[in-house]
Structure 1
Amino acid sequence: MNNRSAKGIALIVVGGLIALPILGITLGWIIKLLFPLILIGLGVVGWRNNSKILGGLMIAFGGLMIIGKFHTLIMLGIAIALIAFGVSQFNKRR
């Protein structure tokens, strides 16, 4: 892909993102989920390119953002694990 086609695709995407809210279509929830993943990905790339401090910070912030988005699912997983562990302890005593 040459430079002109990359610029053209970027302009189409930006123009589409500007036009969608005018048409009543919002993609904010997708952006809110993708941004932490993009941040983690950029941190991994930075880590591999020997920029350990910046890469680590980006991975850490992205991870904290992911935890904030999925805290309900994480807590549900912890609750299920605790219930399963409790049931297994109860069955061992018999």
Structure 2
Amino acid sequence: MNGKSLIGVICILIGGLLALKFLSINLGAIFSFLLPIILIACGFIGLKNGQKVIGSIFLVIGFVMLLGKLGGFMTLIFSIALIGAGIFFITKKSRHH
């Protein structure tokens, strides 16, 4: 890709993002999940290509960022698991030998 093509692609991206903002379409939530996933993918690629240190760093940073974003979802999963465990213990018949 030559310099003019790169500048053209950048102009198209910036223009598209400005148009989406004008139309009140917010992509912030998508980008906030996309960056950690990109870091995790780069970490896996780094590990695959023998770059253990940088690959591990990218993986750790990506997973920490993703856990921060999924905190509410993880809380929901944990609460459902606790409810299931409670129902299991209440309905479980005790064994008497």
Q: For the superposition of Structure 1 and Structure 2, which TM-score range results when normalised by the shorter chain?
A: 0.7 to 0.9
Query: Greater CA deviation, 5-14 or 51-60?
Result: 5-14
Equivalent residue letter for 1:78 = F
The 5 Å alignment of 1:1-94 reads 3-4=1-2, 7=6, 8-17=8-17, 20-21=20-21, 23=22, 25=24, 26-93=26-93
Q: Which runs of 5+ in 1 are unaligned?
A: none
1:52-91 alpha-carbon deviations (Å, 9 max, x no partner)? 1111111111111111111011011011111101111111
Shift of 1:24: 5.4
Q: Which runs of 5+ in 2 are unaligned?
A: none
Distance of aligned partners of 1:6 and 1:63 in 2 relative to their CA distance in 1, 3 Å threshold: farther
Distance of aligned partners of 1:47 and 1:6 in 2 relative to their CA distance in 1, 3 Å threshold: farther
Equivalent residue letter for 1:13 = L
Identity of aligned residues (%): 34
For 1:79 and 1:6, how far apart are their aligned partners in 2?
A: 51
**Secondary structure of the corresponding residue to residue 9 of structure 2:** helix
Distance of aligned partners of 1:6 and 1:36 in 2 relative to their CA distance in 1, 3 Å threshold: farther
1:25-72 alpha-carbon deviations (Å, 9 max, x no partner)? 442222111111111111111110111111111111111111111101
For 1:74 and 1:6, how far apart are their aligned partners in 2?
A: 43
For 1:47 and 1:6, how far apart are their aligned partners in 2?
A: 32
User: Number of aligned pairs?
Assistant: 91
Larger Rg over CA atoms: 2
For 1:47 and 1:19, how far apart are their aligned partners in 2?
A: 38
